[in-house]
Structure 1
Amino acid sequence: MTEKRRPHILVTGAAGALAQQVINRLRDDCDLVAVDFREQVYLGDDIPSYCIDFNKRVFEDLFRRYRFDGVIHLGRIQSSQLTRMRRYNANVLGTQKLLDLSHKYGVSRVVVLSTYHVYGAVAYNPALIDEDAPLKSAGLTMDLVDSVELENLANIYLWRYPDLNITILRPCNIVGPGVRNSISTLLSNERAPVLAGFSPMMQFIHIDDMADAIVLAYQKKKKGIFNVAADDWVAFQHALKLCGCKRIPIPSIPPGLSAFILRTLKLKSFPSYLMNFFKYPVVIDGRLFAREFGFTPKRPLKEIFRYYRENKKPV
């Protein structure tokens, strides 16, 4: 009897903690190849790992060699990283190359990680934002244009090439051990700046739960766009208090003063667009993903905040 072939899956963004969590969940049942354009990481003798720019010709050699069945694209570069042009090349042009190669070489499953930031933070956002809401962030700040274009590009391929079975995920704030994004950095510090007079509602999802969500999304071929979030939220300043942070009020105007204080607190990596997310609530509706994929987060907010409270980093 012929042994069933294990699926070959390409995972991008392999240097990140989230991608490594996903890899650990899939490695027993799949043959994985890990890629990151920032650095090469060792993930075990059984997982080939490459440091490759998606826009280089050598990237196509991986598709010829491994004949991938699926792609899990977690390699989106945050707005605090690289210059705007290099970020655009990586996020937009690199994703286009990835999707073109996926179509060319017969990939039948693609999961793309986006972000809830594409909705934009404005005073007139609805109380609960579903997947049909317009993406306002590109009109608010140039720092998020590449994130919106990345998702628009994936959406075009979703409808143009239905054989790719593309699922786009828009998670809320991903936090927890190993996460190095801006919000996790903020929760980790002993002191945290807050905008005086503002404490918007926020959502958080533990990295373990997000990795579970990505694996579920890959395993169930339900293409489309899905918010990923728990059904609870908390005021931002209260979240900082629960994390054991000393809150440092700063004025929201003029903008230059806020940036100066952030630098003083050694929080230089904070992108300017996040200031609006510290003003206005952006609460997303994750019920569609929960229903379609049978997803229920296991890590409650109190566990997330306890981790940060017990692992404080002095500023």
Structure 2
Amino acid sequence: MGRIVLVTGAARRLGGRFVRRVQREPDVERVIAVDAVPPAHQLGAAEFVQADIRRPAIGKVIIERAVDTVVHLDVNGTPPVRRGSRAALKETNVIGTMQLLGACQKAQSVRRLVVRSSTHVYGGAPRDPAVFTETTVPKSLPGGGFAKDTVEVEGYVRGFARRRPDIAVTVLRFADVLGPLADSPVSEYFRLPVLPTVLGYDPRLQFLHEDDALDVLALAAGEPRQGAFTAGTFNVAGDGVLLLSQCARRLGRPTLPLLRPALRRAGAALRAVGVTEFSPEHVRLLTHGRVVQTALMRDILGFAPRYTTAGALADFARGRGPGLLPPETLSRAVDRLQEAVRHG
């Protein structure tokens, strides 16, 4: 018999794509897709179970179907298709994870757990190191929002791994996901016709292409390749770094520098009209940036992304069309302005 894989967060775009992707793995016999709401997309031959992971019923699903691999993707920074409150989202992220871990602990069939996390666990502070490793202690832990949720989720996962050492537990800390179909907060930000930025800051950014996210999830959920070890915590990001100003120029988007309090107010206004999710952790990202080391991803997990950070941004740009200004025109204008400033 092949593996029986359960995937949470199947109604979201990335979750649905992974459900369809993992069905193609030769050693997978059955896929159970779980979400509190029915998906708007197709799930192939997977069995869809409408279940809220915050409720004990998820344990019954795992035990009755003899699930051996759990891929937990229902840890997110935005409500699905803009439904639900921040409080409900936090409950799904934290309480839902606790309930799911409790179900896995009781199920003797479970042998592997993969949890989607985020590099936002490192927070954002002025004295942050230039590069975060998986063992770096943040200068300032996130005080709220999705970033705080992910810190709590990882804490519960570590406790679970100590209680069930027989289960291979993998935590994947994704950089911000980009691509033509990505529905992440950073992709919504880059869709704005004008990009609000923090006056006086030009943060360094890393991205993970959505296709690479699917590939690394499939790798972590499967049997380890020879010489690789999939259990553990791994930063996952494309090679290279881009400044926010470089991103804006490559997308053909003009920027609007604002003082940080004004940027927060702008974010609140955008959220109120449903334009984009502009959370406090993304304000911190647009201020201080974040770069992570991915040596463990390559050397231990055995994964090499197909897209660099610049490649992920370029593919996003191709899928979304040109900005207000042609990138070449914007680039020349910015170069002339910088030259004028230098010669004062």
The superposition leaves residues 270-298 of structure 1 with CA deviations (integer Å, 9 ceiling, x where unpaired) of 11231111110211111111111221111
- 1:19 corresponds to which letter in structure 2? G
Distance in 2 (CA, whole Å) between partners of 1:115 and 1:57 is 26
Counterpart CA distance in 2 for 1:261 and 1:85 is 19
Q: What is the one-letter code of the residue matched to 2:57?
A: V
Identity value in percent: 25
- 1:23 is aligned, of 19, 33, 48, to 19
Counterpart residue identity of residue 97, structure 1: Q
Offset, 1:24: 2.8
Amino acid at match of 2:38: E
Structure 1 counterpart SS, 2:149: helix
Question: 3-state SS of the aligned residue for 1:194?
Answer: strand
In structure 2, how many angstroms separate the alpha carbons of the residues matched to 1:113 and 1:123?
27
Distance, in Å, in 2 between the alignment partners of 1:55 and 1:12 is: 11
Structure 1 portions without partners, runs of 5+:
none
What is the aligned length? 311
Q: Answer with 22-31 or 254-263: which moved more.
A: 254-263
1:55 correspondence with 2:54: yes
Range with greater deviation from structure 2 (274-283 or 186-195): 186-195
Query: Which residue of 88, 91, 102 maps to 2:90?
Result: 88
Counterpart amino acid of 1:232?
G
- Residue 307 of structure 2 aligns with which residue? 299
Q: In 1, Cα distance between the equivalents of 2:271 and 2:118?
A: 25
For 1:133, give the aligned amino acid: T
Per-residue displacement from partner, 1:20-49 (whole Å, max 9, x unpaired)? Answer: 332233203311010112434553462111
1:87-111 alpha-carbon deviations (Å, 9 max, x no partner): 2321111111111111211200000
Could you say which residue in structure 2 is the equivalent of 1:131?
134
CA distance change for structure 1 residues 305 and 83 in 2, over 3 Å: closer, same or farther? same
Q: How does 1:62-211 map to 2 (within 5 A)?
A: 62-78=61-77, 82-106=84-108, 107-135=110-138, 138-142=141-145, 144-211=147-214
Change (3 A) 1:122 1:206: same
Q: What CA distance in whole angstroms lies between the structure 1 residues aligned with 2:220 and 2:237?
A: 14
Picking from 219, 222, 231, the partner of 2:230 is 222
* Residue identity opposite 1:27 in structure 2: Q
Query: Given the superposition, is the C-alpha separation of residues 228 and 73 from structure 1 closer, same or farther in structure 2, using an over 3 Å criterion?
Result: same
Q: Answer yes or no: is the 8 Å Cα contact 1:201–1:282 preserved in 2.
A: yes
Relative to structure 1, is the Cα distance of residues 50 and 200 closer, same or farther in structure 2, using a 3 angstrom cutoff? same
Deviation at residue 303 of structure 1 after TM alignment: 3.4
TM-score w.r.t. the length of structure 2 is 0.82
Comparing 163-172 and 86-95, the one that deviates more: 86-95
Distance (whole Å) between structure 1 residues aligned to residue 272 and residue 199 of structure 2: 17
For residue 54 of structure 1, what is the amino acid of its counterpart?
A: I
Residue 141 of structure 1 aligns to which amino acid in structure 2? G
Question: Hey, what's the Cα distance between the residues in 1 that align with 2:145 and 2:58?
Answer: 29
> Which runs of 5 or more residues in structure 2 are unaligned?
325-344
1:160: Cα distance to partner? 2.1
Which amino acid in structure 2 is aligned with residue 173 of structure 1? D
2:293 is aligned, of 282, 285, 295, to 285
Check if 1:309 corresponds to 2:317: yes
Q: Contact 2:188–2:276 at 8 Å: present in 1 too? A: no
Distance in 1 separating the partners of 2:117 and 2:188: 20
Matches of 2:6 and 2:202 in 1, distance apart? 40
Does 1:245 pair with 2:253? yes
Cα shift at 1:159:
2.0
Tell me: CA distance 1:88–1:306, structure 2 relative to 1, closer, same or farther (3 Å). Answer: closer
Indicate the SS of the match to 1:32: strand
1:237–1:161 distance in 2 versus 1, CA, 3 Å:
same
Aligned mates of 1:261, 1:46 — CA distance in 2: 42
Judge conservation of contact 1:190–1:313 (CA < 8 Å) in 2: no
Q: What RMSD over aligned residues (CA atoms) do the two structures have, in Å?
A: 2.5
- Worse-superposed segment, 192-201 or 136-145: 136-145
Q: Summarize the Cα distance change of 1:43–1:201 in structure 2 as closer, same or farther, 3 Å threshold.
A: same
> Is the Cα–Cα contact under 8 Å of residues 40 and 50 in structure 1 kept in the other structure?
no
Deviates more, 1:58-67 or 1:288-297: 58-67
Q: Find the aligned partners of 2:245 and 2:305 in 1 and give their Cα distance.
A: 23
Cα-to-partner distance string for 1:25-80 (whole Å, 9 max, x where unaligned): 32033110101124345534621112211132432331232110100001113156
Q: Which amino acid aligns with 1:227?
A: N
